[in-house]
Amino acid sequence: MASLVADAFHRITEPVFQVTLATWCLLIIVLAYVILSFTELSLLRKTYNALWHYGNFAYSCFLKPHSGDKTGNQQDALESFYSSQAGIYDATRARLLQGRQDMLALVAAQIKHRRNTGQIAQKPIWVDIGGGTGWNIEQMQSQLDVPTFFHAVYLVDLSSSLCEVARQRFSRLGWKNVFVICEDARTFRLSDYEAGVDDSQREFSIGHAAYEEHARDFVGADLLTMSYSLSMIPEFHSAIDSITNLLSPTGVVGVVDFYVQNQVEFRGRNYIGGAINRHCMWISRVFWRTWFELDRVNLESARRDYIEYKFGTILSTNRRCHLLGFRIPFYIFVGCTRSTANPHDHVEAVDAAVTESPFLSALDVHAQSLNPRTQRRSSSRSKAYDTAVVNLASSLPLPAAYYQNNKTRIYYDETLPKHRQFNDEYIYAFTWEDARTDSRLLKITGVDVILAITSAGDNILSYALERPKRIHAVDLNPAQNHLLELKVAAFRSLEYQDVWKLFGEGKHEDFQRLLLEQMSPHLSSQAFDYWLHVGPSTFSPRSKGLYFTGGSRHALRLIAWLGSLLGVRNDMRKMCEAQTLNEQREVWTKRIRRVLLSQLLAYFVVGSERFLWRALGVPGEQRAMIEEDFKRETDRNALPSSDIKDKKSGLGEPGEVGAKKSGQAIWNYAVQTLDPVVNNTLVSEDNHYYLLCLLGKYTRKCHPTYLTPKSHTKLSQPTALDTLRIHTDELAEVFARMQPESLTIAVLMDSMDWFLPTGPEADAQVKAVNRSLKLGGRVLLRSAGLDPWYIRAFEENGFAPKRVAARVPIGSCTDRVNMYASTWICTKVVSVEG
């Protein structure tokens, strides 16, 4: 020991050591002086507080033992965990407990919608289960004025330490309608606190099914929220049963919490409202479940599953909390009571609107059940009805589509391969059908019932401006219908300037806020989940915008790339600014035409099957039509008329004419498309279809009809879009389930071009259309062929076809798009069985 002291003393007395020590002391003094001189004391205080807070948080979460573990009492365990960190809880959870603000925004939007539509007549009551320090309630002030909007707010939590922080919070805020209740969520009932309810009405039976009205609390909460509390309740089944009985019949429940789950567990469910990113990898499930169990937080999937079983799903989404390089799974769920007063009537009413059948009341259904021989109607039920019956018989919630505020989107099974083939991406971000020509040809009136292909939804909104009796929008690609839903929700909830930014410019600096706070009550769960995932990047001001997304982005990017590479970008802008047709033709002929109509480009890029499908949505069968028409035109110029075969467009195979002629055919088709457009329509003022391709956005001077201020006034009326029904299915399936002779107009675009001439699909679809249309009903279709092969199928099945536009002679312009070689109106003249 003496030797160690002697060595230390000797070391201290060494000159080198003393100089080194003095140097370090000087550096520390200088550094401290610089920091104190150039740094605000408030910043130093914040830094110190942050270090102390997170140090306390780390100790409490990972090192400090839970004294409550010895007794097994949940309140003791909570106090052991929270007592030392109650005061710093909010400061240390902001980064970890993400999604709380989004959940509050969603439930606030739902409650406001229900107040505005009269579903909640009185000031609502809000119960925040596991509300802790009251952070949620104070944060809600950014969405609603808590002291005036709510009749009462109850914060229920079992931790007395957190409740004390909450009491101090609301005392500071001066909110007299907020009450902090330190109680087990399973025993809390509103009738104990709300006046006007006598003892005889306070019977409360825990564990009864929510369908049993006598099990409910006689005072119902209009809003119930659980923010990262469900995962901390050991007996979660009884707790969820209790809060289910707390919710009023028109109330809303919001839950945000961590979770892990395997896709095997939820794959067969049709009521969960979407599953984007719901699956967690094996390593993620094992790691996060084990990690959180250290703090008595349980991530087993049964908690979320039981919430979805007990409530109807309004909105559901799966997210990841990004923290220190980790991605922690969490979900947001917004639901409602899963039963209605007359569930059969509810299902029947939705079914009637889907299939254009007369609505039958519950009495009619009861009479039919007593006499099974009684036929309800001649047509089959919708898929939505069939699914609802199965769910009701199995005591499951109805599919999420039934709990929409607006019954616009019809139920579909998103797990089917026919829907998954599109990989959650739409092909068309804009519609290639001239709405003005459609209006002229169809002459839509208030008695028309229209069925049309959705595409990007532009034409659907144009039809809606004519106020028909009903519009059925059909598309097999769910993402195309998500895009239409977004447009419909925008008109139902946004001012004109926001609608213009979203769909005129294709960008909005505040998209996510608009989605959460204003559009969410008008979206189906699947559409909301889709746009919450892809919308912020799609509409970001830093992105290229909406119209550079989807499959059609490839065409726009190619045009932009060629313009920049070959130096005609400025000429494209000049063309979009030309004031006269002569000025436009000059710009086109001088520079742009040589680039866009390059034969080399047509042969190797535009003419490739992959590009035609991915960028323009042109299948091989349609390409065959283009090639055959070109071959026939070439033969007509080169051979005697006696040697030319009269062959219908599309009866050959794609590429049958040979690679060289195939490239020539595509090039020739492009020439006959674009040259007449430039010569006959002014892009800057009257052709927004090509203006969009050149600019990537619309202008205030040139845009679709649905984007005018006048159209916004019409479409934003409360009931303007209530007649719209969106089907995610094949056309044939929708036609087959329609009430016979219920439609007056069917707009098939170019969909018939997709069928194989050798297959039975075209004939079957024409018969289905005949069955669904009234006598005198019309079918509008366009084709890449001048004389498509399937016109004969219409003639043989009760229709009188008429070609109302064609690109004949060469140089003719059928409409402002001019993308199709011919346009047809087929009028039903005879009803055909089959």
The pLDDT tens digits of the residues spanning 680-691 come to 999 999 999 999
Rounded distance between C-alpha atoms, residue 394 and residue 332, angstroms = 26
CA 711, 714, 720: angle at the middle one, nearest 5?
A: 130
Q: Find tokens 């194989």 and name the residue.
A: 756
Strand partners, 745: 450, 778
Q: Which CATH architecture has domain 86-337?
A: 3-Layer(aba) Sandwich (3.40)
pLDDT band, very low/low/confident/very high, at 774 (cuts 50, 70, 90): very high
pLDDT band, very low/low/confident/very high, at 11 (cuts 50, 70, 90): low
Kindly report whether the peptide bond that precedes residue 147 is cis, defined as omega within 30 degrees of 0: no
Rounded distance between C-alpha atoms, residue 334 and residue 223, angstroms = 10
Q: How is the chain split into domains, by residue range?
A: 86-337, 343-396, 553-695
- pLDDT score for 293: 85
Strands, E assignment, 36-124: none
Rounded distance between C-alpha atoms, residue 42 and residue 49, angstroms = 10
What phi, psi does 833 have (nearest 5°)? -80, 145
DSSP string of 468-521, one letter each residue? -SEEEEE-S-HHHHHHHHHHHHHHHH--HHHHHIIIIIS--TTHHHHIIIIIGG
The answer to whether 538 and 546 have CB atoms below 8 angstroms apart is yes
Rounded distance between C-alpha atoms, residue 346 and residue 472, angstroms = 20
Which residues, 6+ apart, have CB-to-CB distance to 793 below 8 Å?
762, 763, 766
pLDDT at 376 over 50: no
Rounded distance between C-alpha atoms, residue 779 and residue 745, angstroms = 6
> Average pLDDT for residues 208-229, to the nearest whole number?
70
Is residue 455 classed exposed, middle or buried when 0-12, 13-18 and 19+ CB atoms within 10 A define those classes?
Answer: buried
pLDDT digit string (tens) for 657-666? 544 567 778 7
- pLDDT score for 399: 93
- Token output for 230: 């469900």
| CA neighbor of 668 nearest in space, from 572, 807, 554 | 807
Which stretch of 319-328, 362-371, 654-663 has the lowest confidence by average pLDDT? 362-371
- pLDDT score for 363: 41
Which stretch of 239-248, 311-320, 592-601 has the lowest confidence by average pLDDT? 592-601
> Average pLDDT for residues 313-335, to the nearest whole number?
91
- pLDDT score for 268: 84
What does DSSP say about strands 724-727 and 743-749: parallel, antiparallel, or unpaired? unpaired
Higher per-residue confidence, 181 vs 54: 181
% pLDDT > 70, the chain: 79
- pLDDT score for 517: 97
CA 54, 55, 56: angle at the middle one, nearest 5?
A: 90
pLDDT at 47 over 60: no
Rounded distance between C-alpha atoms, residue 250 and residue 240, angstroms = 18
- pLDDT score for 63: 47
Sign of CA dihedral 632, 635, 636, 640: negative
pLDDT at 721 over 90: yes
3-state secondary structure of 831: coil
Rg (CA), the chain: 33
Mean pLDDT of the residues in the chain: 83
